[in-house]
Amino acid sequence: MLRFLVRRLALTIPVLVGVATLVFALIHLIPGDPAHAMLGETAAEEDVQALRERLGLDRPLLEQYGRFLGGAVRGDLGTSLRTNEPVATAVVDRLPATMELAAAAMVIAIGAALPLGIIAAVGRGTVVDHAATTLSLVGVSIPNFWLGPLLAIVFAVELGWLPVSGRGTWAHLVLPAISLGAALGAILARMTRASLLEELREPYVQAARARGASRARAVLRHAFRNSLIPVVTLVGLQFGAVLTGAVITETIFAWPGIGRLLIQSIGFRDYPLVQGCILFIAVTYVGMNLLTDLVYGVLDPRIRYE
């Protein structure tokens, strides 16, 4: 198991370097000058040039890249051009809000998807199966940038049941979590149904029934566990999508997380802060893929021994 872990960790290093390089390159290709954005378009050229020199923006890109990569290795992502606050501090301050929203969305998605997928697979071809499939199809088809405002209009504006923006109580979390987790739950339900249907056709399920196992035990104890690998894969991959979707959801509901910070930073051409936010999302995505690989080894020991 240790060799399996070390091998997977080693494979993440070039991925992280590539992500950092790509983030730096894309950010510096965005049109606009941070110095002009901070001082205004009417600022004197001498003032703009002095600010560029103070921020290090007049140096060659390769030198800026070397400083960025070296700082990232040490955990130093630079200083925000707008607030003069360390980027790492700004990201860490927003991290609890984003993780709270992502965790709530995942709980809603998994909590709804697994029972729905199991019921649909066990009752294949029945009214319940058709209803579950239709519901999941609707969930996949609705984008969160449309669902979020719709939920806000209905439950916050019209009914007044829940707050429309901000963070504080559990009530503030309900609408953004549903908006973020709905599509993921629909995808997971469809994957759970398809994966479980394949396992239910296997002879070992019939053998378990022949040995006296109840239908529920044969489904949950035997077939469901063996159907989890594609589901776990999807959860790991979609967690990155949840963080990406949080950019839109946090903006809609004024949720004070990293996604909203990223949008604000792009508007101010705050290069270091944009790089820090994107790099955090990318590192989290890679980390979730690594965790998914390790879970594979737990669910199926043959994988870690290959």
Q: What average pLDDT does this structure show over 149-169?
A: 83
**Which pLDDT band holds residue 197 (cuts at 50, 70, 90)?**
confident
Query: Does 283 map to a domain?
Result: yes
Within a domain: residue 45? no
Of all residues in the chain, what percent carry a pLDDT higher than 70? 87
In a domain, 5, yes or no: no
- pLDDT bracket for residue 236 (50, 70, 90): confident
Tell me, yes or no, whether 13 lies in a domain: no
Average confidence score pLDDT of the chain: 78
Q: Can you give the pTM of this predicted structure?
A: 0.76
Question: Is residue 65, in this structure, part of any structural domain at all?
Answer: no
pLDDT at 305: 47
DSSP string, the chain: -HHHHHHHHHHHHHHHHHHHHHHHHHHHHSSS-HHHHHH-TTS-HHHHHHHHHHHTTTS-HHHHHHHHHHHHHHT---B-TTT--BHHHHHHHHHHHHHHHHHHHHHHHHHHHHHHHHHHHHTTTSHHHHHHHHHHHHHHHS-HHHHHHHHIIIIIIIS--S-SS--SSHHHHHHHHHHHHHHHHHHHHHHHHHHHHHHHTSHHHHHHHHTT--HHHIIIIIIHHHTHHHHHHHHHHHHHHHHHHHHHHHHHTT--SHHHHHHHHHHTT-HHHHHHHHHHHHHHHHHHHHHHHHHHHHH-HHHHH-
Q: Is 49 among the domain residues? A: no
In-domain check, residue 147: yes
Q: How many domains does the chain have?
A: 1
CATH no. for residue 241? 1.10.3720.10
Q: What is the pLDDT of residues 278-295, one digit of tens each?
A: 888 878 877 777 777 777
Has residue 29 been placed in a domain?
A: no
Q: Once rounded to an integer, what is the mean pLDDT over residues 183-194?
A: 84
For residue 241, give its domain range: 87-305
pLDDT, tens digit, 9 for 90 and up, residues 4-27: 677 777 777 788 788 888 877 777
Which pLDDT value is given to residue 226? 74
Q: Say which residue, 202 or 120, is predicted with more confidence.
A: 120
* 227/37: higher pLDDT: 227
